[in-house]
Amino acid sequence: MHSDFAQRLIAWHAQHGRKGLPWQNTRDPYRVWLSEIMLQQTQVTTVIPYYQRFLARFPTLTDLAAAPVDDVMPLWSGLGYYARARNLHKCAQAVVAKHGGAFPADASLIAELPGIGRSTANAIASFCFGAQTPILDGNVKRVFARCFGIEGFPGTQQVEKAMWALAESLMPAQDTGVYTQAQMDLGATVCTRGKPLCGRCPLADKCVAYRDNRIAELPMPRPKKTVPERESCFLLMQGAAGILLEQRPPSGIWGGMLCLPELPAGDDPSHYAQQHYGATITQWEELPALRHTFTHFHLTLRPLLARNATSTAVSENRLRWLSPTDYASAALPAPIRILLERVPPAVT
C-alpha cells in the first residue's frame, strides 16, 4: 500500500475530488489560510457563507491587518472557537510586520505565526508554494487509522508522532497540492466518521479496517472521562434602548465578544447590577435555562430578565444597549444570541 498510496488518491481525485469550493483553484495564501482556519472543527457547508462574507469585508490580508479586532469578531459570530478569529487578526498583523504583508513560502516560518499549527502551515505551503509537506488533520488521521490499522487515540503524542512519520513517508515527489487535497476530500466525502462509503474508496482493497471489519472501531475514540457540568446566571437587563451587553476580555471563553453580564453565584442581582453596571433593576424573572456544550465542559445558562432597566454607565466603551435589529451584525456567541432571541418584547 505504501508504494502506490499517493498515486491511488491522486487518480481518484481526478474523477471524484471536490473542485468547486470557493477557496479552491487559487494559490493565494490569504484565501487558503482563511479557509483552513475556518474549517478547523467546522463543516464545509457551515464555513462557505462565513468565508464569503469575510472576504467581502476584508478582501486582502492587509485589509484584515489594518482593521480593529472589534470589526473582525462580528463576522465570526456563530462560527465558534472564537480564539481562531483573534489569532487570525494577530496573524495578519504579524505577516505585515515580519514578512512585508506576504506569507513566507517556508512551512516552518508559516508555523511560527499566531494560530497556525504544523498541519495548517504545511497545507498552505503545499497548496500555494508546491512544497513537499505532509498534512495531518482530522480527515487524514481517520484515513490513516483505518487504512493502516493504527491503534490508539490519534490525539495522543505517541500515535500522532507515528502518523506524522507515516505522512512524511507517503508524500509523492509530484502533484503535492493535488495529493493534499485528495486526502482531505477522501476523509470528508468517503472515509467519513459515520457510515463511510467503503465501496467507493480507492484504498478499500488494502484497508486494514475494511478487511478486519473494524471500520466502526478505528480511529479509536478519545478515552472517556467525565465532562464537567457548570452553570452561570446571566442578566438580561431590558431598557428602552434594548438589552445591556458588555464586551468580554480579549482572552478566555467568548474573548472579545459581546455578552450578557454574568452574575456571580450567590450575588443579589439588584446590588450587582447597580455596583458594576450603574443599572437600576427592581424586579426580575427567571427565563428557561439553556444548555450549551463546549469542547471540555457543559454550561447551563440561567437567564434573569429585568424589565425597565436603566444604566448610568453605558458611556463606557465596554457596555452597549443592543436592540433586536442589532443582533444580526453584533459579535455574539451562539448561546447568548439564542437567549436574546427568546426575550419577550418590552412592555410599553
Residues with catalytic function: 36
Q: Can you say whether the dihedral through the CA atoms of 134, 40, 224, 147 is positive or negative?
A: negative
Identify the DSSP state of 130. -
Q: Tell which residue, 324, 303, 312, has the closest CA to residue 236.
A: 303
Instruction: Say if CB 95 and CB 33 are below 8 A apart.
Output: no
- Spell out where the chain has E strands: 229-239, 242-247, 258-259, 262-263, 279-280, 285-286, 290-293, 298-306, 310-311, 319-322
Q: Can you say whether the dihedral through the CA atoms of 135, 140, 145, 151 is positive or negative?
A: positive
Per the document, the length of the chain is 348
In the block, which residue shows the cell 451584525? 329
Distance (Å, whole) CA 73 – CA 317? 16
In the block, which residue shows the cell 508546491? 130
How would DSSP label each residue in 15-28? HHS----TTSS---
**Amino acid residing at 25:** N
* Nine-digit cell string for 238: 431590558
Distance (Å, whole) CA 75 – CA 82? 11
* Nine-digit cell string for 262: 454574568
